[in-house]
Structure 1
Amino acid sequence: MQRIALRKMLEHFYMEDIGSGDLSAQLISDSGPQRAIIHAKQHGILAGVDVIREAFALLDPEIRVTLLKQDGDAIAPGDTIAALEGSPSNLLTGERVALNLLQRMSGIATATRRAIEALNDPSIRICDTRKTTPGLRMLEKHAVTAGGGYNHRFGLYDGIMIKDNHIAAEGSIAAAVAKAQARHGHMVKIEVEIEDEEQLQEAIAAGADIIMFDNCDPDTVTRFARITPPSIITEASGGIDLNTLHTYRDSGVHYISLGFLTHSAASLDISMDIIPDPERGPTAERQETSCPSLTN
């Protein structure tokens, strides 16, 4: 992840959460550094360790963060992801923002890994879509890669995707592709979304770089992949979920893009615990915040 962009995000998130000050953390006596751990409470795939590091460093550079797991690692209940040491009030102030993002990203990484395992075809790459949470796209797409998947275009600016409405507005696939080729250089790829064989042949003839088979069943995807010249990248998308992914195995398509990886992934249950210090006396109570996971 781009560190400057991540810090800008975190600044905004802290401003939203802290406002004029953390009233609860003000009750904590900062008589010295205290330890805390971030740990898993559910099986899954971890994503977002850079968030832990940057979130607490931004809030308090004196907080020490030791990462015990890395993005892409499988985690299980009880696994310690990171150990922290520093001002207890600052640890608690930064807790929720860090955990919310870590849980969200790990949920996406877990959903991606499950999709890869359900497909069970290393010749086909699982990728995401632009169906991401506004403001969180960089993090959510990073989480997909942590889970073993690949990124589709990041936005409207880094690739041309000619969909049904573009075709309707321009009049034909050939006209839309020709206009895109005339306006942009060789570094900008052109993808065309098709629904039937007539559109497929038109997209091939027009010189599309990528052709998406939209809402096509496995047999149709297999047939279309065979028709398409090997120089053109193929993608299947639409109406595919964890229960049907295996039916696209050995279809010959290069990519399968799945919106549910980011728009429907359940957050993974991850917690932060302050470690009680016996020397602090009877007021040293265990502080725990956890967010219940959602069922997928």
Structure 2
Amino acid sequence: MSESDLRPGQNLAHLLAPSWKREVSRWYAEDTPSFDWAGFVVGEEVQEAILWGKSGGILAGVPFFDEIFKQAECEVEWLLPEGSVIPPNSKTKVAVVRGKARNLLLAERVGLNTLARCSGIASISRRFRDLARAEGWKGVVAGTRKTTPGFRLVEKYGMMVGGVDPHRHDLSSMVMLKDNHIWATGSITSAVQSVRRVAGFSLLVNVECQNYEEANEAISAGANIVMLDNLLGEELHGAAKRLKEEWKGKREFLIETSGGIVEGGLKARLGPDIDILSTSAVHQSCPHVDFSLKIQPRQKA
């Protein structure tokens, strides 16, 4: 779901629990562990700074940017709403930030880094979503859990602003049995049955499968989702079609395709029997959106 998919009055920022704000304090502790030497130079005169968008992309990360500057006792006035398209090859005025000069500069790099990363993820997420929609595919494009430790919330948020599904957030969100779980347990059936005893009815079970036979076993054992990992072409779509036909009316399940999916190979993974496409390409190694924060020059007397 992206900002454009929301109903009036809805806001993705409302998903965030208050506890995330403690992360901002940690970011400050990392960036300014002792003295702010340069802040001594500029002092505490109230100044105004312009936030410029300097490369094309989707604006994302507004609540994080707001909190960063709030903790620095500054105010942010947004000129564009979150989810807006920043045009490429232009200099776009995105927001005005007001506060004491040393506080503006204290928060500058923490705020820009967060906004740039979140917006970059939203931008490539939007491209993936739009490519899938252009093909007429009705399934779900999702990110993965291959996120940056300590920064997952921002990265998952960027995916949602861009319009892709954030998939599971952590090991506690959904049961995902991967190849190592299967090998360590002995079989897919044993692993699924074992986890069902403790996970209860409220958690979905997703099983990573290498071929049709493994997927068939997973469905038989009670998996809610089968991930056909690294299967391509006819092997992928043939297996998905066969599974849907053979289990029709007997068991409800979803089929996920994953493994090495990049923008250029997206279309080849889409098909009528594929329900979910999950990829780390929407957040790993994606380019950032370039922003700068410029304090306005003092007026000469």
Aligned twin of 1:181: 196
For residues 20-46 of structure 1, what are the alpha-carbon distances to aligned partners after superposition, in whole Å with 9 as ceiling and x for unaligned? 231111100333x21111111001111
Match status 1:191 vs 2:206: yes
Structure 1 residues 125-144: aligned runs within 5 Å? 125-144=140-159
For residues 163-213 of structure 1, what are the alpha-carbon distances to aligned partners after superposition, in whole Å with 9 as ceiling and x for unaligned? 111111111111111111111211111000111111111011111011101
Other structure's SS at 1:50 match = helix
> Is the 2:263–2:281 Cα contact (8 Å) retained in structure 1?
no
Other structure's SS at 1:187 match = coil
Match status 1:20 vs 2:9: no
Match status 1:170 vs 2:185: yes
> What TM-score do the two structures reach when normalised by structure 2?
0.88
Other structure's SS at 1:244 match = helix
- Number of residue pairs the alignment of both structures matches: 277
Structure 1 residues 224-239: aligned runs within 5 Å? 224-226=239-241, 227-228=243-244, 229=247, 231-239=252-260
Other structure's SS at 2:69 match = helix
2: CA distance, partners of 1:88 / 1:240: 45
Out of 39, 42, 45, the position equivalent to 2:52 is 39
Aligned twin of 2:217: 202
Letter in 2 for 1:259: S
For residues 212-270 of structure 1, what are the alpha-carbon distances to aligned partners after superposition, in whole Å with 9 as ceiling and x for unaligned? 01001132332232223462011100021111101223343111111122221111111
> Is the 1:47–1:70 Cα contact (8 Å) retained in structure 2?
no
Aligned twin of 1:159: 174
For residues 112-171 of structure 1, what are the alpha-carbon distances to aligned partners after superposition, in whole Å with 9 as ceiling and x for unaligned? 112123333440211111100000001100000010100111111111111111111111
1-10 or 261-270, which deviates more: 1-10
2: CA distance, partners of 1:71 / 1:5: 22
Match status 1:58 vs 2:79: no
Letter in 2 for 1:107: G
Letter in 2 for 1:190: V
Match status 1:253 vs 2:274: yes
> Is the 2:257–2:269 Cα contact (8 Å) retained in structure 1?
no
1: CA distance, partners of 2:68 / 2:17: 11
Other structure's SS at 2:49 match = strand
133-142 or 18-27, which deviates more: 18-27
Other structure's SS at 1:97 match = helix
Out of 82, 85, 88, the position equivalent to 1:74 is 85
2: CA distance, partners of 1:168 / 1:236: 21
Letter in 2 for 1:247: A
Poorly superposed stretches of 4+, deviation over 4 Å: none
Match status 1:48 vs 2:61: yes
Out of 262, 286, 294, the position equivalent to 1:273 is 294
Other structure's SS at 1:278 match = coil
Q: Identity percentage over the alignment?
A: 34
> What TM-score do the two structures reach when normalised by structure 1?
0.89
Aligned twin of 1:89: 102
